[in-house]
Amino acid sequence: MKQLWAPWRLEYIKSADEDAGCVFCAAVEGDDEERLVVRRGENAIVLLNKYPYSSGHFMVAPIRHIGEYGELDAEEVLELHRLAAAGMGALGTLYAPHGYNVGWNLGRTAGAGVVDHVHLHVVPRWGGDTNFMPVLADVKVLPQHLAETRRRLAEVWPED
């Protein structure tokens, strides 16, 4: 078996269970670089996924800690989707993906890793981005460190 070297993953894996509380609330209160926050709005924040499906995978979450999609107010819904659209524009500028997966995983059986704070995923996709690595080795290869992706995406994010 061949080994892949991705030293940044070990840091996250070791500390994943140490973080108490909600990852999104911690991002709202924390340092942008440390928490991988790309953009802050009045009602929502954008942060990179620490365990991304592909480079540039980000999430948009309401600032308010809320676990039910139906409890979001109109301003939150609008800003969540506006930030997702702006982020796709920024990703397009930086990485020129061929498409996007955009969606909500609501509830554990629907795939939500965090069930008590709703959030929207934006996953950039490229033709051929599914290769032998996830099929044979159950491994995804990300070509850029998350801190670098956060910095670059924040730099090209469109102004409101």
CATH code at 55? 3.30.428.10
Tally of structural domains, the chain: 1
What local confidence, expressed as pLDDT, does residue 70 receive? 95
**Which residue type does 72 have?**
L
Is 128 a domain residue? Answer: yes
- Determine which one of 57, 117, 119, 121 is catalytic: 119
Is 38 a domain residue? Answer: yes
Distances (CA, A) of 88 to 77, 81, 95, 129, 140: 17, 11, 10, 18, 21
Is 71 a domain residue? Answer: yes
Q: Which residues constitute the domain of residue 150?
A: 19-156
What local confidence, expressed as pLDDT, does residue 90 receive? 96
What local confidence, expressed as pLDDT, does residue 141 receive? 58
**How far is 155 from 160, CA to CA, in rounded Å?**
13
What local confidence, expressed as pLDDT, does residue 139 receive? 54
Mean pLDDT for all residues in the chain: 84
57 is catalytic: no
Is 7 a domain residue? Answer: no
Is 31 a domain residue? Answer: yes
Mean pLDDT, rounded, for 99-104: 94
Residue 154 reports pLDDT greater than 80: yes
Query: What is the percent of the chain with per-residue pLDDT over 70, rounded to a whole number?
Result: 78
Is 72 a domain residue? Answer: yes
